[in-house]
Structure 1
Amino acid sequence: MFSTLRNAWRVADIRKKLLYTLMILVIFRIGSAIPVPFLDPSALKEMVSSQGNLLGYIDILTGGAFANATIFAMSITPYITSSIVIQLLTIAIPALERLAKEGEEGRKQINKITRYTAGGLALVQAIAYFIMLRNLGALTYNSGFAFWFSAVVIVTVFTAGASLIVWLGERIDEKGIGNGISMILFAGILSRGPSAVMRLWSYIQMANQGETQYYFLVPLVVVLFLVIIAFIVLMTNAERRIPVQYAKRVVGRKMYGGQSTHIPIKVNMSGVLPIIFASSLLSIPGTIKGFAYANATVEQMQGFGYKLLSLFDYNNWLYAILYFILIIAFNYFYVAIQYNPIEMANNLQKNNGGIPGIRPGRPTSDFIARVISKITLIGALFLAVIAILPIGLGAITRMNISLGGTSILILVGVALDTMRQLESQMMMRHYKGFLE
């Protein structure tokens, strides 16, 4: 790998792309450190620190920019929401479905709609954040003209920051290496790495002070972290190949078809979306608890409402069970709207193709549906285990482990995708790639 990097660095245009991508990521991290005026982030940090909180989840995706109330506090969360919404609407709205089938031009139009939708969502989200910050007492001015002026500034800066991040991601797509939005998300999550290392180091210091169990637990966590990464790489690349045989046909004086191929079905077809859906849904009770019981008294903490919302805390067994079930359910839902076995069977029949041993038409669609169902179950269990393992490990070891399943999946997925793109750049110049 190091020799490949050295060869890539020697190629002028690849070196320019790498440096351009690095420059964009540096700009993103600088923006994540510039505070928004008229805000005191101390109240927001206290709110974000509570586990199981939706705000804490957003803070992870933004690389800590949200808790610090910086200009990139919303990061790419409006764009992620917009992408998910447009993707779901593509199945429901015929006009969007036709655009999705029109090739490159159709994708450009859908991307344009996604950007505009992300801008609208960013404005709505910025207004919601401002109201939340006011309720938390994080505003410098709370009345008069100064309040309204600061409100306009704060909402404008939040919205502009989210829009600027989307623009920076597009610049990486155009002139850099890797997927721009994914690279920005990767950089944000990776920036939290030093704090996780410092947390592990604090446990080692506790071991030096007499709590010797951490001499065993800290290396165990590190080894499990490496095992999880290897497991994610294995399952991300795994696929089930359905064999397809095309019949020979004569057109004029030429013969077409007759070749054998396959339909690749990825084990992890839905990526991290089921985990994002499930964690976002389960974080809502924790967020309500944080707002409603911000300064709870002893009597309030003993009330029914507080105890009910506490069942959905990140470290509660009910949270883990519901998390596991929701990930599996959302995985099946996402695969169901992305793959249509009947359409796949009809396309095979139109192109004189068929699966060996399976009759065309209904039997073919039933066979594809059974295969997809089995693969979906395996992929869902894989995602659920990856998401639940850090929770269970933290409960057993009593350590605050900064290993979120979503974060690890995103980091590994983006790294693999970037490696493949860099490999393709190298292969065009007759160099050996990363994945050989």
Structure 2
Amino acid sequence: MLSHQQGNEGITGLLNMFAGGSFSRASIFALGVMPYISASIVVQLLGIAVPYFAKLQKEGESGRNKINQWTRYLTIGITALQAIGYLKSQISPEQMLLVNPYFTILNMFVLTAGTMFVMWLGEKITDKGIGNGISLIIMVGIISALPGAFLTEFQSRTVGAGGLVTFIVEIIALIGVVMFTVLIVQGTRKVAVQYAKRIVGNKQYGGVRQYIPLKVTAAGVMPIIFAQALMFIPSTVAQFFPNAASNGILMSLSDYTSVWHNVLFAILIILFTFFYTAITVNPNQMAEDMKKNGGFVPGIKPGRATGAFLDAVISRITLPGAFALAIVAVIPALASMIHISSSFARFFGGTSLIILVQVVLDTLQQIESHLLMRHYDGLMKSGRVKGRTAIPSASGTSEPVI
């Protein structure tokens, strides 16, 4: 039971989701973009711990190109290691003894080439298309499973228990969860920043009040991914040590629908949200950048006092954001408890839903910006897409922000 559960809801289930189902089908693109994501996270953390990478992050376009090159090299190494592990997981130990070593090496190169092709495709989409190419590939892989999950749930409700009314209630609940996720992803705390006036020739620069949008969920989906990685440990231990699998606590933590599993999962998400926000958002650096550009928060001294103020604001808004992420993460388990199929329940929250919402909103903002740069009205005349900016008109005035 534990082995089956881990295959569907454990680390293999997570990898299969990011690969759009290719992992379970053992295709050339079985590893998908997950090695590239892992390499990006490692390089991002190195930018905090290693001075060389921290310097590259401040060098603008040239530094970004070098970081991307290091990410590609690291992706090749991670993919090669994961390819060997993947081959061992697909072949039984008895069969592995009969496999020619050249078979392993050949398939390692094939899987690595598949991941590098997906990475190249994502970078080309980023350069030539709209939005982040890697994120779009992940989103397409996740959303490709939605029609099948939708049909499976519809058939189970119309043929089995519940009926059509229950299915309609589930759809309404799904829409409500999506709306809640959009709110927490888009939620920001605007900090007013005043810039000093500068006179250059006959023109005046600055002297206007702008805002720094501090996101409630600055860590994004990363806390859920980190917490999921740790929550896979009990089921992995139970798989390698069958005698320990009978332990009540271990069984409870391995069952993703149990109370203790979800309580521990929520606590880990809250902790990782604070941790990842602390290492990715640097209020002191923000304060220094404002000071260099002649900006200051009204009523707060520039420099160290501004950094302390921004740190306090980020700490206050991160707490409700962490709790909101924890709620979204445990909703799929709650949906499974009320007998919603596991394939459909994962779209009620967790990693899948947050990635879908973030990528769709980011893509809408990119399209909106491109349209406004060409003096179109944008995607919608009613409503508002956050991220829309004012575009100067031909008369020299600016269009209102919608």
**Aligned counterpart in structure 1 of residue 132 of structure 2, from 174, 179, 200:** 179
Give yes or no for the alignment of 1:147 onto 2:100.
Answer: yes
Match of 1:191 in 2: 144
Secondary structure class of the residue paired with 2:210: strand
Q: Which range moves more in the overlay, 254-263 or 61-70? A: 254-263
Equivalent residue number for residue 7 of structure 1:
none
1:240 and 2:192 matched? no
Cα displacement (A) at 1:192: 0.9
After TM superposition, give the deviation of residue 409 of structure 1 in Å. Answer: 1.0
1:419 match: 364
SS in 1 for 2:307: helix
Flag the 1:291–1:156 CA change in 2: closer, same or farther, 3 A. farther
- Match in the other structure for 2:228: 279
Q: Distance in 1 between matches of 2:206 and 2:17?
A: 51
Identify the match of residue 222 of structure 1 among 153, 165, 171: 171
Equivalence for 1:42? none
Q: Which moved more, 1:421-430 or 1:265-274?
A: 421-430
The aligned counterpart of 2:110 is 157
Who is 1:120 aligned against? 77
- Cα offset, 1:398, TM superposition: 5.8
Whether 1:131 aligns to 2:94 is no
Greater CA drift, 334-343 or 187-196: 334-343
Q: 1:176 to 1:134 in 2, by over 3 A?
A: same
User: Any conservation in 2 of the 1:54–1:284 contact (CA below 8 Å)?
Assistant: no
Further displaced range: 402-411 or 319-328? 402-411
The more displaced of 77-86 and 379-388 is 379-388
Q: Distance in 2 between matches of 1:290 and 1:196?
A: 28
CA 1:307–1:372 in 2, change beyond 3 Å: closer, same or farther? closer
Contact 1:55 1:287 in 2 (8 A): no
Structure 2 counterpart of 1:423, which letter? E
1:264–1:325 distance in 2 versus 1, CA, 3 Å = same
Q: TM-score, normalised by structure 2?
A: 0.85
Correspondence 1:260 to 2:209: yes
In structure 1, what is the equivalent of residue 270 of structure 2?
Answer: 328
**Aligned twin of 2:395:** none
- Structure 1 distance, partners of 2:92, 2:237, is 13
The correspondence for 1:74, drawn from 24, 31, 34, is: 31
Contact 1:78 1:118 in 2 (8 A): yes
| CA offsets 1:290-326 (integer angstroms, 9 cap, x no match) | 4544xxxxxx58733x862442321121111111111
Contact 2:346-2:352 at 8 Å conserved across structures: no
* Cα offset, 1:51, TM superposition: 4.5
| Correspondent of 1:402 among 346, 358, 366 | 346
Q: What value does the CA root-mean-square deviation take over the aligned residues? A: 2.5
Deviation of 1:222 after TM superposition, in Å, equals 1.2
Q: Which residue is equivalent to 1:363?
A: 305
Distance 1:71 1:317, change over 3 A: same
SS at match of 2:180: helix
Task: Please tell me whether the aligned partners of residues 52 and 286 of structure 1 are also in contact (alpha carbons under 8 angstroms).
Answer: no
Distance 1:399 1:255 in 2: 62
Instruction: Identify the range of structure 1 (239-248 vs 108-117) with the bigger mean alpha-carbon deviation.
Output: 239-248
Tell me the equivalent position of 2:12.
55
The CA distance in 1 between the partners of 2:214 and 2:336, in whole Å, is 34
* Residue 338 (1) aligns with residue 287 (2): no
Letter in 2 for 1:276: I
Matched residue, 1:103: 60
Secondary structure (helix, strand or coil) at the match of 1:67 reads: helix
Task: State the alpha-carbon separation in 2 of the partners of residues 106 and 381 from structure 1.
Answer: 36
**Which ranges of structure 1 fall in alignment gaps of 5 or more residues?**
1-45, 294-299
Are the structure 2 counterparts of residues 236 and 126 from structure 1 closer, same or farther at C-alpha, using a change threshold of 3 Å? same
Per the normalisation by structure 1, the TM-score is: 0.79
Pairwise CA distance, 1:327: 1.0
Residues 53 and 290, structure 1, Cα contact 8 Å, conserved in 2: no
Q: How many Å separate the matches in 2 of 1:136 and 1:92?
A: 40
Q: Secondary structure at the match of 2:24?
A: coil
Sort the Cα spacing of 1:265 and 1:51 in 2 relative to 1 into closer, same or farther, 3 A: same
Name the structure 1 match of 2:374. 429
Change (3 A) 1:179 1:361: closer
- For residues 288 and 63 of structure 1, do their structure 2 counterparts lie closer, same or farther at Cα, with a shift above 3 Å needed? farther
Could you tell me whether the CA contact under 8 Å between 1:119 and 1:159 is conserved in 2? yes
C-alpha deviation, 1:247, in angstroms: 3.0
Q: Distance in 2 between matches of 1:230 and 1:103?
A: 36
Which residue of structure 1 aligns with residue 42 of structure 2?
A: 85
Q: What do residues 143-172 of structure 1 show as CA deviations (whole Å, max 9, x unaligned)?
A: 2xx522322222222111111111111121
